[in-house]
Structure 1
Amino acid sequence: MVVVVSTVDVLVGGPLRRWDQHLMLGGHGLAVTGWPYAVWRVVVVGGQFWLVGSLVMIAAAVAAWRRRDLVLVPAVGGWLVVTNAVVWVLKQVIGRTPPGAGVDLLAGAGQSFPSGHAALGASCLLVIAALMAGTAGRYVIGAVHALAVGVATATVALGYHWPSDAIAGWAAGVVLGLLGQWVVRRRAEPGPRLASCAEA
């Protein structure tokens, strides 16, 4: 619902988009400097696809080994490809310019909406938590949500995205992450398994 509402608002120039413009284009926009800038630069890395995507696949490989599950790694890999494709398609269709362009245009002018960092950070972190279920997963779910929100906030603080980009990206990431968790839980059901040394 958050994804739909924020997307419609951006498309029709609603109050959220007007707030974006007031916050990011009014005066000097957001001017984060000093140590806060350095902190946000570290936090935003949590949404880098090369990092969180790699961590998802490592967690999937570890979980597959523990579960003796032949299909978990390709299942999670397929989910990761679909997730990245959905975010890319949304960016192409909306075509919003980033705040750094100094204007807020749609229809092919940019790729700012939704925030890929926020979407991929939220979705991948949720799936990593699901893959860790039974060990540390239940203890890290709160930290996962906090980091996902932190990544979304960092994209705005650093001027990479409009606030509505971050909100829509985070919300889309949660939806895609829940889909990924469903894939992981489905793979926990009985199915093809690797034979252990004792069974061989």
Structure 2
Amino acid sequence: MTMVTDDVQTRVSTRREWPWWAPSVSAGLLSAALLGLMTWLVVERGWFIAWDWDFHVYVDARQPTGVTKDLLDALASLGGQRLYTLPIIAAVGLYVAYRQRSIRVPIAIASGLATVLVIGYWIKFGLGRTPPASGQDVLYSVGQAFPSGHTANATLTWFLLVTVLFGAQGLWPDPVRFRRYLWVAGALVVVTGFLMTALDYHWVSDIPGGMALGVLALMISVTVLRAPAPRWPRRPE
């Protein structure tokens, strides 16, 4: 007589564990590819810049004046001008470094800022695109319109600020507040980009270029934040 025994088998999970760097590096490569594509489209003078001139003509005839203009300029500057964003992100970074007893956050911030500076000005000086205020859209001139540095700074600053405060490696890790303030950061970026075009400082196509550059810099900073601490070999006793 043969007895059949039903054995309970333990299922081994086959779910693949991705490397720690995979999400941020993948997003960084994607943003770099988009930035490269947009740069090429600006050079090709095709559909990507189709709205630039018409929008410039529309807002140029409707520029605010007086106190309204001053307030909008101040808001746009606070949102993305390095003169204001750099002290903010630097002060927060140093505070987090002090509380965490680690220099990782300042290194991450410096990495992102260096990315915006080096890649941003490499493209700016390479294209030499004139701004709307010049009254002409010309490449290889004395302009530095594309990509928008204000928008890149805004994207890096406000999203990185949320990350170092409420992200997984932040000072006060909190998924709920992290998601909530990501929306606030996104709104600040959109408002900054819109004001730079509405006030006729940038072409419409300069804004997504600045966003792509900012995301690229942000992903480099996030990669530095997520990197595991180096393990130094112990000295033999």
**Same fold by TM-score greater than 0.5:** yes
- Using the TM superposition, give the Cα deviation of residue 123 of structure 1 relative to its aligned residue in structure 2, in angstroms: 1.2
1:131 counterpart letter in structure 2? V
> Match of 1:198?
none
Provide the rounded CA distance (Å) in 1 between the counterparts of 2:72 and 2:225: 31
> Match of 2:20?
none
- Alpha carbons 2:111, 2:221 under 8 Å: kept: no
1:61 counterpart letter in structure 2? L
The structure 2 residue matched to 1:10, chosen from 34, 38, 42, is 42
Query: Kindly tell me: are residues 103 and 62 of structure 1, through their superposed partners in 2, closer, same or farther at Cα, counting changes over 3 Å?
Result: same
1:64 counterpart letter in structure 2? A
Aligned residues: 189
> Match of 2:91?
58
The structure 1 residue matched to 2:208, chosen from 167, 178, 182, is 167
Provide the rounded CA distance (Å) in 1 between the counterparts of 2:153 and 2:213: 9
Gaps of 5+ in 2: 1-32, 167-172, 232-237
Q: Which moved more, 1:155-164 or 1:104-113?
A: 104-113
Percent identity of paired positions between Structure 1 and Structure 2: 25
Secondary structure in structure 2 of the residue aligned to 1:61: helix
- Using the TM superposition, give the Cα deviation of residue 127 of structure 1 relative to its aligned residue in structure 2, in angstroms: 1.2
The structure 2 residue matched to 1:67, chosen from 90, 97, 100, is 100
The structure 2 residue matched to 1:32, chosen from 63, 71, 78, is 63
The structure 1 residue matched to 2:80, chosen from 26, 47, 54, is 47
Provide the rounded CA distance (Å) in 2 between the counterparts of 1:163 and 1:121: 16
- Using the TM superposition, give the Cα deviation of residue 124 of structure 1 relative to its aligned residue in structure 2, in angstroms: 1.6
> Match of 2:137?
104
Secondary structure in structure 1 of the residue aligned to 2:129: coil
Secondary structure in structure 2 of the residue aligned to 1:163: coil
Secondary structure in structure 1 of the residue aligned to 2:42: helix
2:218 is equivalent to residue 177 of structure 1: yes
> Match of 1:196?
none
Aligned-pair Cα RMSD in Å? 2.3
Gaps of 5+ in 1: 193-200
Normalised by the length of structure 1, the TM-score is: 0.83
Secondary structure in structure 2 of the residue aligned to 1:132: helix
Residues 90-141 of structure 1 show CA distances to partners (whole Å, capped at 9, x for unaligned) of 1101110000111110013311111110111111211111111215544311
Q: Which moved more, 1:91-100 or 1:120-129?
A: 120-129
Tell me which structure has the larger Cα radius of gyration: 2
- Using the TM superposition, give the Cα deviation of residue 39 of structure 1 relative to its aligned residue in structure 2, in angstroms: 5.2
Residues 117-174 of structure 1 show CA distances to partners (whole Å, capped at 9, x for unaligned) of 0111111211111111215544311100110111111100010000001121122212
> Match of 1:139?
180
